[in-house]
Amino acid sequence: MSNADERQIIKNAVNGDRRAFNEIVNRYKQRIYFTVMKMVRNKDDAYDITQDTFIKAYKNLDRFRGDSNFYTWLCRIAINTAINFKSRDKYREMASVADINTVPESIDRPDHNFAENQLFDRLDKAVAGLPAQQKKVFALRYYDQMPHAEIAQVLNLSEGAVKANYFQAIKKLKNEFSDIIYKSESKSAGKEVEK
């Protein structure tokens, strides 16, 4: 879809054309869901946040000025919604914690062994524990693969601040997994640069 097409679709959606809006949803739902999922690390919450994001976007389409990329605008709503999102259902939170502990690996993550699943659980917790700004930058940069300049626009930060937050996030994750990283590092140390 070209930018001109997209602008026309947005214009139609603003004028109440629900089919045009549905096209916007279908175009961006996967990308928004994935980025949000990697921020909140909970499927149900990620789905709810994605839904909320599009509903908010629909209600505010007429306020999209067009001076930034549409996805940048949409992403800003999603990130803000994710940061302020409180899990709606305590029972669901409890259920999801129970899921982590009890769902057999063959159903949940068929391609990974138990040790790897434990590592992923650790990663979920480590990412959840990052400061909000670092979490946002990390999700946008690593998972959404957004350029620094665009992240700066979404989060209203300087590019330097984006890079610094990203660097800090990576450093924290590296420390979090230092036990594993160092173990395997000692096996492969120097190999790459000595070749």
Partner 1 sequence: MSCDKYQERLLNFVESGKRDPMPGDLEEHLRGCSGCRNEYNELKELFGFLDRDRERDTYDSRLDTLVVDINEQLDKQSKLVRFNPGAVYSFIGAVAAALFIMLFGMTQQKYFSEDIYYTDYYNGSSIVEYADEAGLGDELLDEMYSSIDKQSIEQIEEYWIENTDYSNIIEDLDEDYIRAIKTAIEQEYKNVS
One residue of 12, 68, 69, 87 binding partner 1 per CB under 8 A: 68
If binding is defined by CB under 8 A, does position 35 make contact with partner 1?
no
If binding is defined by CB under 8 A, does position 104 make contact with partner 1?
no
Q: Cα 95 from chain centroid?
A: 22
Q: What count of Cα atoms within 13 Å lies in the side-chain half-sphere of residue 38?
A: 17
**Segment near partner 1 (CB under 8 A); pick from 1-9, 97-105, 118-126:** 118-126
Nearer to partner 1, 2 or 194 (CB): 194
One residue of 3, 8, 22, 113 binding partner 1 per CB under 8 A: 22
d(CA 34, CA 162): 20
Nearer to partner 1, 14 or 47 (CB): 47
If binding is defined by CB under 8 A, does position 54 make contact with partner 1?
yes
Q: Which residue type does 189 have?
A: A
d(CA 100, CA 89): 17
If binding is defined by CB under 8 A, does position 123 make contact with partner 1?
yes
If binding is defined by CB under 8 A, does position 106 make contact with partner 1?
no
d(CA 185, CA 109): 26
If binding is defined by CB under 8 A, does position 134 make contact with partner 1?
no
If binding is defined by CB under 8 A, does position 103 make contact with partner 1?
no
CB-based burial, 50-67: b 16+ in 10 Å, e otherwise = bebbbeebeeebeebeee
And the tokens for 182? 């160092």
d(CA 19, CA 85): 28
Q: Which of 83, 73, 85, 172 is nearest to 136 (CA)?
A: 83
If binding is defined by CB under 8 A, does position 189 make contact with partner 1?
yes
Nearer to partner 1, 8 or 30 (CB): 30
d(CA 118, CA 120): 5
Interface residues toward partner 1, by CB under 8 A: 18, 22, 25-26, 29-30, 33-34, 37-38, 43, 46-47, 50-51, 54-56, 58, 60, 63, 65, 68, 73, 76-77, 80-81, 84, 109, 112, 116, 119-120, 123, 142-143, 156, 163, 167, 170, 173-174, 177-178, 180-182, 184-185, 188-190, 192-194
